[in-house]
Amino acid sequence: MDPRLSDAPGGTAVVLANDHFRTPFAKTTHGLVRGPSRWPVAAVVDAACAGADAGELLDGRPRGVPIVASLEEALARVGPPPGVCVVGVATAGGVLPPALRADLLAAADAGLDLVNGLHQLLADDAEIAALAASRGARILDIRRPKPVRELSFWSGEVLGLRTPRIAVLGTDCALGKRTTASLLVAACRRAGLGAEMVFTGQTGWLQGWRHGFILDATPNDFVCGELERAVLECARESRPDLIFLEGQSALRNPSGPCGAELVVSTGARGVILQHAPAREHFEDLDTLGCRIPPVAEEIALIRLLGAEVWALTLNQEGLGPEQAEEARRRLQTELRLPVFLPLVDDLGGLVELIRARIAAGLAA
């Protein structure tokens, strides 16, 4: 892990969702509410959803995390006062919206440490940086790129690693790859398998996963090397039975194609493919007519990259329970693959499938 991020602030956190809690742009907030999280979440700020329990609104499971209308309300209601203010949204292009910037200025003025995963860095904002310094508050910009001298170039050592690697890829961005990977780690551990996840995005670090790097804050020449380094570090330090690799974006999302690295550069032979059946276009690209390719084509593409899709997992957005089950049955029939609903199923069946594939030598 990046040593600059090892000295993380302490205390509880207030998370800024910036009126996006009900949208995929708040996936960082969603991940921290579901957990794990480096900090206990004391409150979520989102005026559009104020008064709700964040967990209940997210997935029907109350978690005792209030959604409040403002940062001032969070500081007044929560006791003891939070020590950390986390940017809980992922905006298009990673820019800092004016309303969110105003909340961060207020948080800095209140002496809260600021944790930011946007590409627009808070420490480079003179006003925010000066105010934070005057109040003794720290700024942690998670996406600040590491110096080139600290980056690793791909060596090929990972190809000799015997620990099975399973990539959790998706047919689009913002559809739950990290959530599914974390649920699979938990399900494997319940079944007696030592599983770890290598994170590749900001939320994975915010959740406290031990091994990984932030792919989209890494110069392209070093992405594969940093991925290899994280996988080898995970195998060496945690000695797991298997490693899940968190996917990013999608193989053919034109605004950010990604995923081949997780197969080609790590030697992963198994893939769990996440898909949203109700989603026809890539996220935010519907006006351009950029349609998500058929799942069968994505499976064929993954096979050409050298891996096999072992199962499909479904994001249920836009689907009621009966519609989700119908989509499960249809896709199982069409693709001749097992299909799971990660937020509904206990995933024990998927763990046994993974165990069998590993035992048959299909993960190496």
pLDDT tens per residue, range 168-196: 999 999 999 999 999 999 999 999 999 99
Q: pTM above the 0.85 mark?
A: yes
The pLDDT assigned to 32 comes to 97
The pLDDT assigned to 94 comes to 87
Q: Which CATH fold topology does 3-141 show?
A: Rossmann fold (3.40.50)
Evaluate whether 349 touches 310 at the Cβ level (below 8 Å). no
**What residue segments make up the domains of the chain, in order of their start?**
3-141, 150-359
The pLDDT assigned to 3 comes to 41
Type of residue found at 58: L
Query: Rounded CA gap, 45 and 66, in Å?
Result: 9
The pLDDT assigned to 92 comes to 81
The pLDDT assigned to 364 comes to 73
Long-range own/partner contacts, residues 251-254 (CB < 8 A, 24 or more apart):
251/169, 251/298, 251/301, 251/302, 252/293, 252/298, 252/301, 253/172, 253/173, 253/282, 253/283, 253/285, 253/290, 254/282, 254/285, 254/290
What are the backbone angles phi and psi of residue 93, rounded to the nearest 5°?
A: 80, 0
The pLDDT assigned to 4 comes to 45
Fold match between domain 3-141 and domain 150-359: yes
The pLDDT assigned to 5 comes to 46
Query: Rounded CA gap, 208 and 312, in Å?
Result: 26
**Which segments in the chain show pLDDT lower than 70?**
1-10
The pLDDT assigned to 53 comes to 96
Sorted by sequence, the CB contacts under 8 Å of residue 133 that are 6+ apart come out as: none
For the domain spanning 150-359, the CATH number is 3.40.50.300
The pLDDT assigned to 77 comes to 83
What are the backbone angles phi and psi of residue 308, rounded to the nearest 5°?
A: -125, 140
Indicate the average pLDDT of the chain.
Answer: 94
Concatenating the DSSP letter of every residue in 65-124 gives -BEES-HHHHHHHSSSPPSEEEE----GGG---HHHHHHHHHHHHTT-EEEE-SSS-GGG
Sorted by sequence, the CB contacts under 8 Å of residue 153 that are 6+ apart come out as: 221, 222, 225
